[in-house]
Amino acid sequence: MASGVFGRTEPVFSFLWTYLRNHKRALWLVIPLSSLSILFRILIPVLIGDSVNRVVSGNVAGVVNISVIIVIISAVAAVVQYAVSYGSMYLSHTLAREARSDLYRSMLNKNFTFFDSSGSGDLLSRMTMDVEAVRRLVSVGLSQFLTTIFMIVVAGAILFSLGFYYFLVFVALIPTLLLVSAYQQKLQRPFWRSLRKRYGFMGDHLQENLTAHRVIRSFNAEKRENSKFTGITGKYFSDYESISSIRGFYTPLLSLIVSLGAAFIIYEAGIQVINSSWNIGNLVASINIYSMLLFPVTFLGRIGAFIENARSGVERIGGVENDSRADYASTGSSNEKPEKNSISYHNVSLVRGRQQVIRNISMEIREGETVGIVGRTGSGKSSLVDMIPRFYLPTEGRVYVGGADTSTIDLSYLRKFVALVPQDVVIFSGSIRENVTLGDPEITDDDVVSALKTASIYDFVEDQEYGLDTKVGERGITLSGGQRQRVAIARAIASRPRVLILDDATSSLDAETESNIIESLKDAVDGLTTITISHRLSTMKLADRIFVIEGGELIQSGPLYELSGSEGAFSKMFLGATAVND
Amino acid sequence: MTEWDLNDAREKYGSMSLMKRMLSDLLKNRRESAKVIASVLAISAVGMTAPLVLGLAVNAITSGIPEMLLLFALIYAVLYIINYVARKIQMRDVMVLAQWYIKELRDNAFRKLQSVPISFFTEIKTGRIISRLTNDAEALSDFLTFQVSQVVSGITTVVASIAIMGILDPSLTLYAIAVIPVLFIFSFSIQGKVRQRYLNTRRAIASLTGTVAEDIGGIRAIKGFATEGRMTGRFSGLNDANLHANLSASKLASMFGSIVRIIEASGIALVIYIGAGQAISGVITIGLLVSFLSYVQGFFDPVIQLSQFYNSYQSATIGLGRLYQIIDYEEERDEGTHEPEGIAQGITFDNVSMKFGNSYALKNVTFSIGAGEKVAVVGHTGAGKTTLANLILKFFHPSAGRISLDGVDLEDIRTAKYRDITSVVLQEPLLFKDTILGNVRYSNPGSTDDHIKEIFTGFGLDDIFSNLPDGLDTEIGERGNGLSEGQKQAISIVRAIIRDPKLIIMDEATSQLDLYTERKIQDALARFLKNRTVIIIAHRLSTISFADKIVVLDHGKIAEEGEFNELISHRGLFFKLYETQNVLAS
């Protein structure tokens, strides 16, 4: 709508329209009412002008009437104004809620490659500040923008009725005003864009700094961190400085133009009043109307900043929403839900970034089997198992679960069927219960307790004053590395998977605890297929078969006795370990 | 923990004292604030004079003097040119001043975060701290940029207008200001409610932000367990709560604005009624009436602004309180004067206890580590091993007892200097978004690429990065994204080594490495650690082969202490641990 006036603003307005069109009723209430309320507001200077005319003609009764009319009109205007003001707040906050909700859903629906390369502080700032930038455009902008346009139109009409001359001056001013405001908006654009980006950097840097505070302290790196941060805030500040200079120059220019117009009218029309029959009331009224225009005109200057800020916000929200790295939807229409918990890899290769992490692997894991995967650091073990719950899609070949190609299995079914406990464990702030159930209402306290027992951490939980309600995470007690891992294992068990993958998820546990857990898994879950990645020989002893990975390739497989009996990567890898312990 | 409730932050300081402090901080930027004050005054002066000039112009017209009219029209124009210049300065400098202040707040808060005690981070969520430095600081922007100057100039305009009206015609002035007490009573009666509702909006957005931050951090768990639906449900609940909090605040704010308008109109009507009567009877001129009407209209606008100001003021003081709370947080004490260059005798634990809440992580621990000695600390998960490391690193201070280096209490040693001679491999590698080489250099900015590469090769850690296309120059993501845990750990080890420390603490430093790699680095590590004082925390007993002494912890107490063979023959806890691993491994 304003594209002609403000330059290429379409992305912002089409974004707004996506949300506002669902609230047409509120919109159709706010738009006419805001016009109405302006009509009332303009009426008051007209009435004041009229009262001056009546004073000149000595009409006392007329003056009394006008006082009463002003109060009545204002009362009606106040009600209308209330509806407009609340209505636009309603629209803006509803839009923010929906936009934020869409962004959240879209974010949650991204695949892992997206999160591998996104800064979490930056993502967070998109959810908060960027949505807020758009919201502010609606809350401040919508009613005021329409009001401004309407006010200009009505003011023009009234000036026309007061006298053609008043109108002509007005007509000369308006295009100048629009041009100036459009121009300053364009000047601001790059700075707003850079500002929003830097705000994201700030969040990223804070996130990184706060997470790694122990590293920073132990390496005496506090000063370097400070200068890095002040570097970011310094650039953020200088962007603002540029914007300030632009706005400082142009926005007051708009009111200057109007005021000079008014001064011109005072003189020119004043002479006419003196020399001919022009009436002074009309002159006063039109001067009042010009001074009333000052506010919307200043707003015209401000709106540019709002639009540009919102535009950068929309771009950054779109940056996430339009990112093609969505979670891999099931191919075909099948949405299969296999029953069997066997797994097989057929000529699977995986490329992540520019890096080939898995090379042509084929392997079979039978139902209910317990297998171990070993291999050197960086050999591709995690990438191999990450493909089972479809965290990553194989670049070539196929992975099957229960005989079904994983890419055709219903995604949510697959991820409930397969539970993967990663190396890097996540503990949410909340109770231990919440951390185990992750909010699943079907998991009872009994289930939680038995999962905690299987994960060898129930004794610890029982010792706590609040038991399952013990708060953990950032606002609760601090769990040790081993405790975190066991809570994560309990979480996986409680979700009743048919396939359980422990991706080096027991590295912080001592060997005894680790073996206890793996052994009790068999008793806890009937027929569970278990895949364990570990560097411990003791763990591998519990496996029916072991797969050895090196450089992304499967180089050896078989039961422990076979592998340790033969010369090969496996015995080379574990030779030293047994030697030390012997 | 309640200390960190966002409500408390402001209540603790009080809104007025926060504003006073902000003002005095702003005035520190003398040049900018002087320009701002001068320009605001100039704008108000124009605002006050313009209606007067307008009235004089009208009188010039009614009395038919064109020359006077021209003069007043020109004065009117000049006034607005002055206004332009003042506004230009005001607009730019207010914004610059505001952003400068926000930058100062952020920088100071960040600086403080680098020096608060480590325990601070267990008290408050990372997401909440970030939100303080980003959202809360940003909330000041609107307040300082738009609201403050508007209100200041508004108040100036109101006061000055009343003064000028008083000079022009005292009795008419009384009528004009008759509605002001009504306004005041109305504003004050509604204030408490408005405040409460705005507080609710800040709470709502803070808990929304905190939750989203955690969801982003835990995305792998959310997706891994296919709990997107439930997480979305939780998010929607908070998102809706945020909407409702805002709507309820908006409702009140809109109502306020409307009622003020009605009061305004009554004031204008009163002036017309009284003033017109006087003008008709010739007591005042028509020009004076016009000026009066103009003033009355002028001084209601700031009042309407005040309703907007109030919202902004609420967010600003809440945010300000939360930032000053960080800035005022007591720094980690570093009063030590001793500056050790190395370790001559060793480290001694003397009856050291460490309490978290009500439970002891360490209790009455006494042992010593000689200079150049390698001590292994073993024990079950949760036995207190990491706590012990944290105490040696001065991350925490013992609740009782003392730890000393060469006989000097760690508390008396300057922490920065102490950390110069120590190094650590933490259980969690915690890497930065940088190249691998950059991450290593973090601990010792002077080290060259070649030197770093040499260490990787020397320790046999180079080939585990051979799968990366750019090798050690590979750019890694936030928290080491894109690398395996073992690779992260290898980087963390080299990062500790490159500091060339006298004392090194290795907390499960090799738990994520494969056995082959681990074994490969043993020799190089043994050579490197020679003549250095080392504390190794390990589960895998294979990794403690080069320890001179082993300390076995059990439930926060030392269960056993001695050489490997001694402990084996002692047949105690260590023997049991060893047995289990051995049985499992053989």
DSSP string, B500-559: --SEEEEESTTTTS-HHHHHHHHHHHHHHHTTSEEEEE-S-GGGGTT-SEEEEEETTEEE
Closest among B59, B26, B56 to B40, alpha carbons compared: B26
Q: Is B315 on the interface with A (CB under 8 A)?
A: no
Two structure tokens written together for A344: 């097989």
Residue ranges in B281-338 assigned as alpha helix (H): 286-327
Both structure tokens of B1: 């923990």
The 10 Å CB-count burial string (b at 16+, else e) for A82-92 is bbbbbbbbbbb
SS3 A426: coil
Contact assessment for residue B169 and residue B127, using Cβ atoms and an 8 Å cutoff: no
pLDDT, residue A175, reads 86
> Beta strand pairing status for B503-507 and B422-425?
parallel
The reply to whether B401 and B550 lie within a common domain is yes
Q: What percent of chain B has pLDDT over 70?
A: 95
In a domain, residue B320? The reply is yes
Distance (Å) from the C-alpha of residue A70 to the closest C-alpha of chain B? 6
Q: Identify the band that residue B306 occupies on the pLDDT scale cut at 50, 70 and 90.
A: low
Residues of A in contact with B96 (CB under 8 A): 240-241, 244
Query: Could you tell me if B342 lies within 8 Å of chain A, comparing CB atoms?
Result: no
Quote the tokens at residue A470: 């013990």
Residues in A closer than 8 angstroms to B91, CB to CB, are 244, 247-248, 251-252
Q: Indicate whether B438 and B296 sit together in one domain.
A: no
Q: B94: nearest CA in chain A?
A: A244
Q: Are strands A418-421 and A499-503 parallel, antiparallel or unpaired?
A: parallel
> What single letter denotes the amino acid at residue B565?
N
> How far, in Å, CA of B489 to CA of B496, rounded?
11
Question: Of the spans A365-369, B11-15, B217-221, which averages the highest pLDDT?
Answer: A365-369
- What phi, psi does B355 have (nearest 5°)? -115, 130
Q: Which of A325, A375, A359 minimizes the C-alpha distance to B223?
A: A325
Q: Higher-confidence residue: A577 or A330?
A: A330
Query: Max alpha carbon distance in chain A (Å)?
Result: 120
- One domain for residues B531 and B450: yes
Residue B352 has pLDDT above 90, yes or no: yes
Closest CA to B357 of B335, B387, B331: B387
**B433/A119 touch (CB, cutoff 8 Å), yes or no:** yes
Compute the average pLDDT of residues B303-319. Answer: 74
How does pLDDT run across A32-53, given as a tens digit for each residue? 888 787 778 778 777 877 777 7
pLDDT of residue A5: 43
Nearest CA distance, A422 vs chain B (angstrom)? 8
Structure token pair of residue B337: 């004067």
Structure-block tokens of residue B484: 């395996």
Q: What is the pLDDT of residue B303?
A: 67
Q: Distance between CA B489 and CA B493 in Å, rounded?
A: 6
Tokens of A418: 């397969």
Tell whether B414 and B448 lie within a shared domain.
yes
Work out the minimum CA distance from B437 to partner chain A, whole angstroms.
Answer: 16
The answer to whether the Cβ–Cβ distance between A357 and B467 falls below 8 Å is yes
Mean pLDDT (whole number) for B100-117: 94
Token digits of residue A169: 């001056």
Residue B556 located in a structural domain: yes
Chain B residues within 8 A of A480 when measuring between CB atoms: 381-382, 386
CA dist B258 and B255 (Å) reads 5
Interface check B216 vs A, CB under 8 A: yes
Query: Is the CB of residue B286 less than 8 Å away from at least one CB of chain A?
Result: yes
The predicted structure's pLDDT at residue A342 = 94
Residues A341-387: pLDDT tens digits?
999 999 999 998 778 899 999 999 999 999 999 988 888 999 999 99
Q: How many CB pairs under 8 A join A and B?
A: 534
Residue B5's pLDDT is: 53
Residues from chain A that touch B542, judged by Cβ atoms under 8 A, are 576-577, 580-581
Q: What is the least distance, in Å, from the CA of A157 to any CA of chain B?
A: 22
* 3-state SS track over B356-404: ECCEEEEEEEEEEEECCCEEEEEECCCCCHHHHHHHHCCCCCCCEEEEE
Greater model confidence, A291 or A25: A25
Do both B373 and B321 map to the same domain? no
B contact test, residue of A59, A218, A390, A457 with most B CBs within 10 A? A218
Kind of pairing between the strands at A343-352 and B400-405: unpaired
**Mean pLDDT of chain A, nearest integer:** 85
Rounded to a whole number, what is the distance in Å from the CA of A540 to chain B's nearest CA? 9
The pLDDT, as a whole number, for residue A512 is 78
Number of domains making up chain B: 2
Tell me which residue range forms the domain holding B393.
346-585
Best residue of A19, A199, A204, A215 to probe chain B, by most B CBs closer than 10 Å: A215
Is B196's Cβ below 8 Å from some Cβ in A?
A: no
Place of tokens 């001592």: A510
Q: Which fold has domain A9-321?
A: ABC transporter transmembrane region fold (1.20.1560)
Cβ–Cβ gap A535/B357 under 8 Å: no
Q: What is the pLDDT of residues A119-146, one digit of tens each?
A: 888 888 899 889 999 998 888 877 777 7
Q: What is the mean pLDDT of residues B491-510?
A: 90
**Which pLDDT score is estimated for A343?**
95
User: B315-332 burial by CB neighbour count: b if 16+ within 10 A, else e?
Assistant: bbbbbbbbbbbbbebeeb
How is the beta sheet containing A404-405 ordered, strand by strand?
Answer: A355-365, A343-352, A396-401, A404-405
Give me the amino acid identity at B408. Answer: V
Q: Cβ–Cβ of B91/A96 closer than 8 Å? A: no
Higher pLDDT, B499 or A572: B499
pLDDT at B192: 78
Q: Confidence class of residue A263 from pLDDT cuts 50, 70 and 90?
A: confident
Q: Which of B363, B362, B360, B365 lies closest to B349 in space, CA to CA?
A: B365
Residue A333 pLDDT grade (very low, low, confident, very high; cuts 50, 70, 90):
low
B500: contact with A, CB 8 A cutoff: no
- Looking at the domain assignment, is residue B333 inside a domain? no
**B264 contact residues in A (CB cutoff 8 A):** 74
Please compute the mean of the pLDDT values over residues B125-140 and round it to a whole number.
83
Asked if residue B132 is part of any domain, the answer here is yes
Q: Clarify whether residues B363 and B401 are in a common domain.
A: yes
**How would you classify the pairing of strands B557-562 and B549-554?**
antiparallel
Averaged pLDDT of chain B: 85
Residue B480 pLDDT greater than 60, yes or no:
yes
pLDDT confidence of residue B10: 65
Give which of A540, A550, A234, A546 is closest to A378, Cα–Cα: A550
Å from B19 to nearest chain A CA?
A: 22
**Per-residue pLDDT tens digits for B185-198:** 887 888 778 878 88
Is 3.40.50.300 the CATH number for A343-581? Answer: yes
For tokens 């180079």, the residue is B462
Using only C-alpha atoms, chain B has a radius of gyration, in whole angstroms, of 35
| Local confidence band at B180 (pLDDT 50, 70, 90 cut-offs) | confident
| Within a domain: B341 | no
Asked whether the beta carbons of A145 and A2 are under 8 A apart, the reply is yes
At residue A425 the predicted structure's pLDDT band, cuts being 50, 70 and 90, is confident
Between the alpha carbon of residue A240 and those of residues A183, A198, A236, A451, the distances in Å are 18, 11, 7, 54
Q: What pLDDT does B308 receive?
A: 67
Sketch the domain layout of chain A as residue ranges: 9-321, 343-581
Give mean pLDDT, residues B536-544. 77
pLDDT of residue B462: 86
pLDDT at residue B382, rounded to an integer: 75
Residue B8 has a pLDDT of 55
Q: Please report, for the domain that includes residue B85, its CATH number.
A: 1.20.1560.10
Q: d(Cα A492, Cα A503) in Å, to the nearest integer?
A: 12
What are the angstrom distances between the C-alpha of A540 and each of A365, A370, A381, A518, A548?
Answer: 15, 10, 15, 10, 11
- Checking if the pLDDT of A4 tops 50, the result is no
Burial of B285 (0-12, 13-18, 19+ CB in 10 A): middle
Position with higher pLDDT, A306 vs B514: A306
Nearest CA in chain A to B88: A248
Chain B positions in Cβ-Cβ contact with residue A249 (cut-off 8 Å): 88, 92
B436 lies in the same domain as B322: no
- In this prediction, what percent of chain B has a pLDDT beyond 90? 26
How confident is the model over B300-307, as a mean pLDDT?
A: 67
Find residues 541-570 of chain B whose CB sits inside 8 Å of chain A: 541-542, 545
Q: Tell me which range, A95-109, A202-216, A264-278, B43-57, is most confidently predicted by mean pLDDT.
A: A95-109
- Contact list, A286 vs chain B (CB under 8 Å): none
A50: nearest Cα among A71, A75, A67, A37: A67
Mean of pLDDT values over B441-463: 90
Q: How far apart are CA A261 and CA B402, in angstroms?
A: 81
Among residues A521, A244, A121, A405, which one has the least CA distance to residue B149? A244
Position A577 scores a pLDDT of 45
* Two tokens, residue B81: 């040119």
Distance CA B440, CA B447 (A): 9
Residue A581 scores a pLDDT above 50: no
The answer as to whether B332 is a domain residue is no
Task: Write out the two tokens for B84.
Answer: 């332009």
Which letter does DSSP use for residue A127 in this model?
A: I
Give the whole-angstrom CA distance, residue A173 versus residue B102.
38
Could you say which DSSP state residue B461 is in?
Answer: -
Is the confidence at residue B218, as pLDDT, over 80? yes
Residues B381, B311 share a domain: no
The confidence band for B358, taking pLDDT boundaries of 50, 70 and 90, is confident
In a domain, B363, yes or no: yes
Top pLDDT among B333 and B372 is at B372
Whether residue A280 and residue B58 make contact (CB cut-off 8 A), yes or no, is yes
Q: DSSP E strands: which ranges in A366-421?
A: 370-375, 396-401, 404-405, 418-421
Give residue A1's pLDDT: 37
How close B524 comes to chain A (CA, Å)? 16
Q: CA dist B570 to B225, B377, B576, Å?
A: 47, 17, 10
Which of A275, A359, A429, A474 to mutate against chain B (most B CBs within 10 Å)? A474
Per-residue pLDDT averaged across B119-134, rounded?
Answer: 81
The answer to whether residue B337 sits within a structural domain is no
Angle between helix axes B30-62 and B149-168 (nearest 10 degrees) is: 40
| Residue A325: per-residue pLDDT | 83
Instruction: Based on the fold, state whether residues B320 and B448 are members of the same structural domain.
Output: no
Tell me the shortest Cα–Cα distance from B357 to chain A, in angstroms: 9
Output the domain CATH number for residue B413: 3.40.50.300
In A, which residues are within 8 Å of B302 by CB distance? Answer: none
Look at the alpha carbons of A443, A446, A452, A457 in this order and tell me if their dihedral is positive or negative: positive
Section B36-47 average pLDDT? 84
If asked whether residues B502 and B363 sit together in one domain, one would say yes
Q: Which residues does chain A have within 8 Å of residue B580's beta carbon, measured at their own beta carbons? A: 511-512, 515
Q: Of the candidates B133, B254, B514, which has its C-beta nearest A82's C-beta? A: B254
